[in-house]
Homo-oligomer: A and B are copies of this chain.
Amino acid sequence: MDQTTTLPLHPKGGDGDMPREDAAAQQPPTAAGGEAPLSKNALKKLAKDKAKAEKAAQRAAQEQAAAQQAAASDTAKHLYGLRPSTEATVETINFTQLTEEQYEKEVTVVARVDSVRLQSAKLVFCGLRQQGKKLQTLISATEPISRQMVKWTGGININSVVQVTGVVKKPEIPIASASAGLTEFELHIRKVYMVAQAAQMLPMQVKDAERPPPESHEEGQVDSKGEPIVTLKTRLDNRVLDLQTETSQAITWISSGVAQLFTEFMLKSGARWIFTSKFTGSATEGGSEVFELGYFKRKAYLAQSPQIGKQMCIAGDMMNVFEIGPVFRAEDSNTHRHLTEFTGLDFERSFQSHYHEVLDFAEELLVFILSELKTRFKDEIAVVQRSYPKAGDFKLPKDGKALRLKYMDGVALLKEAGVDVSEQEKFENDFTTAMEKQLGRIIREKYDTDFYVLDKFPLAVRPFYTKPCPDDPTLSNSYDFFMRGEEIMSGAQRINEAHELEAAMRVKGVDPNGPGFDDYVSAFRQACPPHAGGGLGLNRIVMFFLGLPDIRLATLFPRDPQRLRP
């Protein structure tokens, strides 16, 4: 698909580059990479595009003669082409810095060419894109701009990075295709230079990736408006292009924001930032499957969470710690919310008298993150909602305090709604995903919140290190956090006495003297204060906060059993 472009970088004039109505239109609607046969609509569009291209070629031939004449005396030569090193030192602004005060003034921007439309031989409209935001520019062949310069601009490959100097104008009517905040600006080009040139054929158009991926469509189909459909697979295969959409830009900002807000809150609480090892000598936690690797003639495993490490830090007197890092799960789960690698936000704290001190803390943490996201990333949220409006605004409790229910309250709510929860009542099984989602809907209706906590889970459904409830040994001092009915955090008070831990390990079939666990159990023999903590999934927070249909959309370079690239 990729081809080195043929666009001449030095303006020679009259080279007869084929002008075009719309550079994107030159590409067949199967550009997204599918090999499925074309639909009727697609064929229609192809025929239309072909007709356009032929028309354009005719025009080009007519213009060529005139252009060749003018070439020798192109007085605008220095205003376009490959960027001269002197031009690289010119001060530039970002699109977001455009204000009304710049009307009639000259500014310079570096951005991608998003679209090109040849209005005539003398006028070209060129849409620019910078971090997903679109700005309208135009170039018109009036002194000192030459026709050759206009033509060269019209021939720039879509997605190339250019440096444009132009006069800021207020358009007569707001530009519909421009991004929010940029509709009242139009740049009239004075200079245009190539910074980095894109290949003529791209595997996918960024504008096609702006539309949300359909839930069930074959590659190569077109939608009801005749636009090519780009599936999630194609987007992820071409993730670098997909990241350039305004939606992806907003999502990655919000991901960054979640990590920032988590760190801010933890540091303010006096916590220490820790970095535990991802290599362990044993298949830790005895739970879900782990990745095994060769380690200097031995075997090592990738930590499926920082659980062991962060608890050892508490035993090491650190009192209040947090970690941000990759978490590895070798589960062959192929769902909308499972990955083999995700970003874990982990915390662990010792407490004075009751694990609810830590649960209160964790609830405040989440309320802080979610409410600050709404304030600090208002614009980004609005951008994402344009593409994914279905889930609606994320509802936080009105009083600024998390809603906390007991696991058994959740069971009761489901039972009330007619769900068969006999296994859950008998503590034989945790909720199914379907039950969790239904409970989310019931709670939203009843309490008007998308964020809530369930406390006191049955001991049988929790990992071996979970502290049993002192009042009822079939329950445990453990909690899950939910967003829109899906789990984003699991946490608990941990057993902090060696003999109790060893007994609990044996019950779950884990050898307390096995490699990796001996050091862990030793830490408690050497005395460790009572503590509790939790592990959040950053990608899940982003996904459910924004109501995205798939966790891969909330992950830079997602990894699942099928996907190991890019």
Contacts and interface: CB of A to CB of B under 8 A. Distances in A.
Contacts of A291: 293-295
Interface in A17-73: none
A88 B313 contact: no
Given A131-B317, A243-B318, A341-B279, A4 B499 contact: yes
Interface in A276-319: 276-281, 291-296, 298, 300, 302, 309, 312-313, 315-319
10 contacts: A130-B317, A199-B525, A199-B526, A244-B316, A249-B318, A259-B273, A275-B555, A277-B341, A296-B562, A309-B557
B527 A317 contact: no
B240 A526 contact: yes
A313 B558 CA distance: 14
A391 interface: no
Given A130-B317, A196-B496, 18 more contacts: A2-B522, A2-B525, A88-B353, A89-B354, A161-B529, A242-B316, A243-B316, A263-B263, A277-B556, A279-B341, A291-B295, A292-B294, A293-B293, A293-B294, A296-B562, A324-B324, A326-B326, A522-B566
Given A252-B318, A525-B199, A243 B161 contact: no
A199 B502 CA distance: 15
B564 A281 contact: yes
B296 A272 contact: no
A371 to B, nearest CB: 19
Contacts of A273: 255-256, 259-260
A530 B313 contact: no
Max count, chain B CB within 10 A of own CB: residue among A202, A281, A556, A559: A556
A197 interface: yes
Contacts of A343: 275
Contact of A527 (B161, B332, B566): B161
A353 B92 CA distance: 10
A92 B243 contact: no
A293 B131 CA distance: 36
A195 B351 CA distance: 11
A104 interface: no
A527 B196 contact: yes
A533 interface: no
Interface string A492-521: 000011110000000000000001100110
Contacts of A132: 317
Nearest to A291: B293
Interface in A169-200: 195-199
Nearest to A558: B277
Closest CB pairs A-B (n = 8): A243-B316, A519-B566, A88-B353, A198-B527, A293-B293, A256-B273, A2-B525, A196-B527
A561 interface: yes
A424 interface: no
A438 interface: no
Contacts of A300: 564
B354 A195 contact: no
Copies per complex? Answer: 2
Contacts of A490: none
A385 interface: no
Contacts of A85: 353
B274 A309 contact: no
A274 B293 contact: no
A253 B272 contact: yes
B275 A529 contact: no
Contacts of A195: 529-530
Interface string A312-355: 11011111000011101010100000001101000000001110
A160 B527 CA distance: 6
A112 to B, nearest CB: 7
Max count, chain B CB within 10 A of own CB: residue among A157, A195, A253: A195
Contacts of A272: 252-253, 256
A351 to B, nearest CB: 9
A526 B198 contact: yes
B252 A530 contact: no
Contacts of A281: 564-565
Nearest to A86: B353
